[in-house]
C-alpha cells in the first residue's frame, strides 16, 4: 500500500467492519461512515481513485443508486463492493466494471439472493455504527453451520429462518428469532453458537485484504491511474456512451419498448407487474361462487390479463416504465439491459460460442421466474407462438440468447 497516498482509497463501512481489522492498521485508507446518496460522487471529487463500498444507509436516507456507481466507474475510479450495500451494488454493476468480493456478492450475482432485506440491519450511529440487529443472511449462514455441526435439525433450521423472515429487520436479534421459532435454548448455547458467525463481517475483511493485494498489483500512483475505465474489459472502453445520459443515447420511446421485451423475455417483469395490472381495465371477472370452473378461471387469470394489456404494447410499456420509476428500479433495470446489450454484441463480434451449460442455466432461470418446471413445459404452454397466449415466444428466445452470450463473453474475459 506504500504506492498509494492517503485519501486515494476511500472505504465506506459501518456495522460490517470486522473486529480484528482496526482502522489504525490501514493508515492509507480514508475511512467514511455508511454511504448515502451522493457520497460516492463527493469521494471522487475529493480525489479518491479507488472506492470500496461495504455499508450504506437506506430507508431514512436515500441509498446509493446503481447510476452513481456506474458514473464513478466511467469517470475512471475503481469501485469495489462487498458484504452489504456494497455487495448489492457490485452485483448490479458488475457488467459495467464494479468489482465484487465475497460470499454475499456471489449470492446476489447468481440470483440466490434478491431482496435488500437479506443484508439490512439497524445501527447505532452514536456507537461507531455498531449493528444492533442481526442480518437475515447471517441467520441463514449460522443455521447452515449449526445444522452441519449437528446442533439443530433441518426442521428447526427452517423454523429459525422463517421466524427471522417474519420479523422486521430492526427487531431481528437471536433471542427473538429463536423464541419465535419455538427453539428451547435455556442455556443459550445455540444462540452463542449462531452469534459466532457473521458472513458480512467476513466479507468486509476479504474486501480489505483484496484492496491490499489489488493495489500492490496495480498501484494507484501509476501514471495511467486516472485514465478512464482502466480496469474494465476492452469492449466496454470502446463502446461507452459519452457524457451523463440516463437513456444511453436512446429515445425514451425506444427504451420503453425495448425494456418491455427484455423484462418479459427474462421474466423479470413479474416482480413489477402487479401494481400495473391492478389498475388495468383488462382484468377479467373471477367467479366468486364455488363453481366447477373457478379453479380453471383462477389459473387463466394472469394469462388473460397479460393478453389483454399486451394488445396495447405502447400503453403497457409506458405503465411499466412509470412503475419502475416509482419503486426506484428504473436505473438498475436499464443498466442491466444496456450491459447485456453491450456484452452480447461483444460476444457476437468475437465469435464466442455459447457453452451448453451456460445456455441451460439461463433457460432454467427464465423458466423458474415463470413458475414452470422446464423449458419443454414452457414451450408446451405456448399458443400461437405466445407463452400463455400472451407473451411472444421470440421475446424469450431473444432474451435467452442475449443472457447466454453476455455470460459467455464475461466468462471468457474473466479467465484471460
pLDDT at residue 117, rounded to an integer: 85
Percentage of the chain with pLDDT > 70?
79
Is the predicted pLDDT of residue 230 greater than 70, yes or no? no
User: Which range has the top average pLDDT, 105-119, 316-330, 352-366?
Assistant: 352-366
Is the predicted pLDDT of residue 54 greater than 90, yes or no? yes
Is the predicted pLDDT of residue 82 greater than 90, yes or no? yes
pLDDT at residue 268, rounded to an integer: 86
- Residue 144 burial class via C-beta count within 10 angstroms: exposed 0-12, middle 13-18, buried 19 and up: middle
pLDDT at residue 86, rounded to an integer: 93
Contact 41, 72 (CB under 8 A): yes
The structure's pTM equals 0.56
Name the DSSP letter for residue 7.
T
Contact 371, 236 (CB under 8 A): no
pLDDT at residue 335, rounded to an integer: 85
Is the predicted pLDDT of residue 58 greater than 70, yes or no? yes
The set of residues, in sequence order, having a beta carbon less than 8 Å from that of 101 and lying 6+ positions away, is 80, 81, 82, 90, 203, 206, 207, 210
d(CA 81, CA 34): 13
279 backbone dihedrals φ, ψ, rounded to 5°: -95, 5
Compare 247 and 295 and report the one with higher pLDDT.
247
Mean pLDDT of the chain, nearest integer:
80
Tens of pLDDT, residue by residue over 89-134, are 998 888 888 899 988 998 888 778 878 889 988 888 777 788 889 9
Q: Give the torsion sign (CA, 251, 249, 337, 74).
A: negative
Tens of pLDDT, residue by residue over 148-196, are 888 889 899 999 999 999 988 888 999 999 999 998 888 889 999 998 9
Q: Give the torsion sign (CA, 340, 343, 346, 351).
A: negative
Give the confidence band of 217 by pLDDT, cuts at 50, 70, 90.
low
Is the predicted pLDDT of residue 81 greater than 90, yes or no? yes
d(CA 253, CA 318): 8
Which of 9, 211, 186 has the alpha carbon at shortest distance from 99? 211
CA–CA distance from 31 to each of 7, 22, 88 (Å)?
9, 11, 20
* Phi-psi map region of 229: left, alpha, beta (phi>0 left; psi -120 to 50 alpha): left
pLDDT at residue 21, rounded to an integer: 63
The set of cell numbers assigned to 385 is 407462438
Please give the average per-residue pLDDT across 371-377, as a whole number.
87
pLDDT at residue 138, rounded to an integer: 93
CA–CA distance from 56 to each of 36, 83, 329, 409 (Å)?
6, 10, 17, 31
Is the predicted pLDDT of residue 295 greater than 60, yes or no? no
Amino acid at each position: 500500500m506504500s504506492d498509494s497516498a492517503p485519501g486515494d482509497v476511500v472505504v465506506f463501512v459501518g456495522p460490517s467492519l470486522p473486529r480484528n481489522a482496526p482502522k489504525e492498521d490501514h493508515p492509507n485508507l480514508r475511512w467514511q461512515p455508511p454511504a448515502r446518496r451522493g457520497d460516492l460522487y463527493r469521494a471522487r471529487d475529493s480525489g479518491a481513485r479507488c472506492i470500496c463500498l461495504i455499508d450504506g444507509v437506506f430507508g431514512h436516507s436515500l441509498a446509493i443508486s446503481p447510476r452513481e456507481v456506474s458514473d464513478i466507474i466511467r469517470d475512471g475510479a475503481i469501485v469495489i463492493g462487498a458484504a452489504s450495500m456494497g455487495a448489492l451494488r457490485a452485483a448490479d454493476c458488475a457488467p459495467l466494471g464494479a468489482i465484487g468480493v465475497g460470499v454475499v456478492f456471489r449470492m446476489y450475482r447468481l440470483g440466490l439472493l434478491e431482496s435488500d432485506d437479506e443484508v439490512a440491519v439497524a445501527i447505532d450511529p452514536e456507537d461507531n455504527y455498531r449493528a444492533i440487529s442481526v442480518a437475515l443472511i447471517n441467520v441463514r449462514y449460522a443455521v447452515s453451520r449449526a445444522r452441519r455441526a449437528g446442533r439443530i435439525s433441518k426442521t428447526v433450521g427452517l423454523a429459525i429462518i422463517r421466524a427471522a423472515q417474519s420479523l422486521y429487520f430492526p427487531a431481528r436479534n437471536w433471542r427473538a428469532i429463536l423464541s419465535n421459532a419455538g427453539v428451547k435454548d435455556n442455556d443459550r448455547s445455540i444462540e452463542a453458537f449462531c452469534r459466532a458467525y457473521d458472513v458480512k463481517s467476513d466479507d468486509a475483511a476479504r474486501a480489505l485484504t483484496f484492496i491490499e493485494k489489488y493495489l500492490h498489483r496495480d498501484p494507484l500512483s501509476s501514471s495511467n491511474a486516472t485514465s478512464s475505465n482502466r480496469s474494465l474489459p476492452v469492449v466496454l472502453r470502446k463502446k461507452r456512451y459519452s457524457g451523463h445520459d440516463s437513456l444511453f443515447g436512446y429515445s425514451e420511446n425506444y427504451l420503453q419498448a425495448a425494456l418491455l421485451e427484455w423484462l418479459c423475455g427474462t421474466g423479470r417483469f413479474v416482480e413489477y407487474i402487479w401494481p400495473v395490472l391492478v389498475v388495468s381495465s383488462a382484468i377479467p371477472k373471477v367467479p366468486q361462487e364455488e363453481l366447477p370452473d373457478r379453479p380453471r378461471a383462477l389459473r387463466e387469470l394472469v394469462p388473460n390479463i397479460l393478453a389483454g394489456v399486451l394488445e396495447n404494447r405502447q400503453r403497457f410499456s409506458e405503465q411499466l416504465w412509470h412503475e419502475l420509476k416509482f419503486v426506484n428500479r428504473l436505473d438498475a433495470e436499464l443498466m442491466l439491459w444496456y450491459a447485456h446489450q453491450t456484452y452480447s454484441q461483444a460476444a457476437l463480434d468475437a465469435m464466442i460460442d455459447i457453452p451448453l451449460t451456460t445456455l441451460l442455466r439461463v433457460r432454467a432461470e427464465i423458466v423458474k421466474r415463470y413458475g414452470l418446471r422446464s423449458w419443454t413445459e414452457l414451450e408446451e404452454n405456448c399458443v400461437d407462438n405466445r407463452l400463455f397466449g400472451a407473451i411472444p415466444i421470440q421475446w424469450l428466445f431473444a432474451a435467452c440468447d442475449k443472457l447466454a452470450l453476455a455470460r459467455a463473453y464475461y466468462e471468457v474475459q474473466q479467465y484471460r
